[in-house]
Structure 1
Amino acid sequence: MASAPQASLPVFYKDLMPLNSRDHASWKGRSTDRAPWLHGFHAIPLTAEEFPQAARNFPIIFSTGPEPVPLALMGLNEGVNVFVDAEGKVQENIYIPAYIRRYPFLLAKLAPESDELSLCFDPTSDLLGENVEGNALFENDQPSEHTKALLGFCEQFEQAGARTQAFVEELKKHNLLMDGEVTIQQEGFEQPFVYRGFQMIDQAKLREMRGDVLRSWNQNGLLALVYAHLFSLDLIREIFGRQLQLGQGPVVAPAA
């Protein structure tokens, strides 16, 4: 169903360029209610602190591999996103993950040996540029208040990412992640649809955990994240139904 991104660039980003006052002094950035870059992406990286809000709209799973990443499923099949229309309009009244809201900006290392992160952007995006109508990115060769706010958001995202990694490490420490499988029997089809290729929390092992660990998780908020993930899995069948309504379900011959 989903695996951690393997490309050298993060999901959505086609290129990266550092933002600086020398090259982008007259550039502006604009906001938008459309996200055409979401087309073709069904699994969006999610920070742990977003679980309670995201769980209302999306199934939350973990990618496969030794370094699992929490993902919000906006579709069950590769290339299918049931929350974005052909023009990039995102469905109203749903939670928009921070990863989506951050685009086209992010913090990145300009040199592998450096620990310093710089504000970068995807130069292929039409959300910023010299001829864009919007907020100035620089004023008097200094970052504008708009750019400072963008930087602050990206910094908060990085911090949330570190906390998410710590949460996943805690799950791994207690061996709570298991290979997931969802079977959906659809009327009119002889064989059920089976989705694999993701990880989920093992409820049997969760029930066997020591009481002192669970009390600690309850106090620091981790237990709420665990249950947000588990409850969200019920939405997998709803996403499947939305795909069928949109004519984007898996192609399988119906029963005779």
Structure 2
Amino acid sequence: MATAAPANQMPLFYNQLEPLSSNVHPNFKVRATDKAPFLAGANAIPVTVDEFVLAQRHYPIVFTADENPVPLALMGLNEGVNVYVDDEGKLLNQDVYVPAYIRRYPFMLARLQPDAQDLTLCFDRTADVVGEFEDGQALFDGDKPSETTQNIMKLCEDFEMSVQRTGAFVKELKDADLLIDGEVSIQLSDGRPPFIYRGFKMVAEDKLRELRGDALRKMNQSGMLPLIFAHLFSLSFARDIFGKQAAQGKGPDLAATAPKAEDKADA
């Protein structure tokens, strides 16, 4: 269901990062679009703890199964399936929450050198929404960042700070030994075996209930408990996504796996 990105790979969606510069890109603009083709085959999007409360109303929130778990909003249960957008990456429901990871694209803050202290605003050179266009919003006012660029910078800075808070949150979960291998079971009403999804981590409810004293008090005072509950409540959306996959003809072929009439009679 969820897999971690291989080491030394470009971040999800990004192909060719380039520092934004008034010397190199003085006439560049960014133009609005309601389509994101890169989303069409993306079933899991990183989210931060600052987004849990909003995201849990729309997506299951799980954690990657690697050494340093990352929270993910699931937009599909099967690899390459996204039930929230069409084939062009256009939202099927305009009221759905869009994670900040998506909203900041094609921009991001990055270190130009591994030992660099400062982060530089970069953009994906392969994105078709940034370039020397007649339309769009200018990224520079002379040699100064335009108001548009300042707003983009603020979004990226806020996201990076949220990432740090998310890392601290996940570390607390690991230190408390609350993360376990997850499993979602979708049981249909026609008697066929359940559809099982694994490959992610989740908070163990039984271990959470066993917390006592200082450990429980610390999580309550730090604001972790509402975030944990948001994650746990969100898991119920897995069945909704499964149903959307079936309605859109994506994911498992339900007709092919349905029990035959004689099988039902013998049951």
Q: TM-score, normalised by structure 2?
A: 0.92
Query: Hey, what's the Cα distance between the residues in 1 that align with 2:108 and 2:77?
Result: 27
| Structure 1, unpaired ranges of 5+ | none
SS at match of 2:58: coil
Query: Hey, what's the Cα distance between the residues in 1 that align with 2:103 and 2:35?
Result: 11
Residue 38 of structure 1 contacts residue 88 of structure 1 at CA under 8 Å; is this kept in 2?
yes
Q: Which amino acid is the alignment partner of residue 76 of structure 1?
A: L
Residue 28 of structure 1 contacts residue 128 of structure 1 at CA under 8 Å; is this kept in 2?
yes
Q: TM-score, normalised by structure 1?
A: 0.96
Query: Hey, what's the Cα distance between the residues in 1 that align with 2:32 and 2:211?
Result: 46
Q: Which amino acid is the alignment partner of residue 159 of structure 2?
A: F
SS at match of 1:200: strand
Deviations 1:9-62 (CA, angstroms, capped at 9, x unpaired): 111112111110111000111222222221111000000110000000000000
RMSD between aligned residues: 1.3
1:115 aligns with 2:117: yes
Query: What percent identity do the matched residue pairs reach?
Result: 54
Match of 1:105 in 2: 107
Query: Hey, what's the Cα distance between the residues in 1 that align with 2:31 and 2:216?
Result: 45
Query: Hey, what's the Cα distance between the residues in 1 that align with 2:135 and 2:153?
Result: 20
Match of 2:227 in 1: 225
Q: Bigger CA drift: 242-251 or 154-163?
A: 242-251
Superposed, 1:1-256 pairs within 5 Å as 1-6=1-6, 8-90=9-91, 91-188=93-190, 190-251=192-253, 253-256=257-260
| Structure 2, unpaired ranges of 5+ | 261-267
Residue 29 of structure 1 contacts residue 132 of structure 1 at CA under 8 Å; is this kept in 2?
no
In the alignment of these two chains, the number of paired residues is: 256
Query: Hey, what's the Cα distance between the residues in 1 that align with 2:74 and 2:245?
Result: 12
Deviations 1:80-117 (CA, angstroms, capped at 9, x unpaired): 00000123211211111000001000011111121221
Query: Hey, what's the Cα distance between the residues in 2 that align with 1:6 and 1:229?
Result: 25
Query: Hey, what's the Cα distance between the residues in 2 that align with 1:66 and 1:34?
Result: 34
Query: Hey, what's the Cα distance between the residues in 1 that align with 2:134 and 2:69?
Result: 38
Following superposition, the deviation at residue 142 of structure 1 comes to: 1.3
Query: Hey, what's the Cα distance between the residues in 2 that align with 1:76 and 1:64?
Result: 15
Following superposition, the deviation at residue 191 of structure 1 comes to: 2.4
